[in-house]
Amino acid sequence: MSRDIQITFDARDPRGLSTFWRDVLGYVHPGPPGVELAEGADPLAAWDEFLAGIGVPPEQRNTRSALEDPDGRGPRVFFQQVPEDKVAKNRVHLDIRAAPGLQGDERMAALEAECERLVALGATRVQRFEPNPPMESGFIVMTDPEGNEFCLD
């Protein structure tokens, strides 16, 4: 029997990092429990109001954040605040499938375009790996704003 999974990031700034990954993945911030959001309402503002209403002090309101796939297919992504900075290379990372089905120059051009978009959002480009058939189609290694490695694949 398969299991649903949640991907969890340790973060210094859960809200900021979740906003970055929201824009990378096309995910959404869910609203607070029991709160029906109006069309176009800002879920993060709703969370601020919800947390204030239940007495969470302002300095504790950025300890967690979450994202969900609006289509319901992908895993939930959770961000939890930790006091320490990232200190080593990730042993697990995300591959962002930015050029599915593309090969050669067309693939690398699509990856470069997505890389530019993500750099504008706060990512850092680390290294480009050229196609090396038959085993490697080419990819770009990047880091998110808190230094977590991921690949554009």
Compute the distance between CA of residue 91 and CA of residue 82 in angstroms, rounded to an integer.
18
CA angle (70, 7, 47) in 5-degree steps: 55
- Contact between 94 and 153 under an 8 Å Cβ cutoff? The reply is no
Within 13 Å of residue 29, how many CA atoms lie on the same side as its CB? Answer: 25
Compute the distance between CA of residue 117 and CA of residue 124 in angstroms, rounded to an integer.
11
CB count in 10 Å sphere of residue 38: 8
Q: What percent of the chain has pLDDT over 90?
A: 88
Compute the distance between CA of residue 94 and CA of residue 57 in angstroms, rounded to an integer.
33
pTM of the full structure: 0.93
The reported pLDDT for the residue numbered 120 is 98
Give pLDDT tens digits for 113-138. Answer: 999 999 999 999 999 999 998 888 99
Helix (H, G, I), strand (E, B) or coil at 96: strand
The reported pLDDT for the residue numbered 2 is 87
Asked if residue 68 has pLDDT above 90, the reply is yes
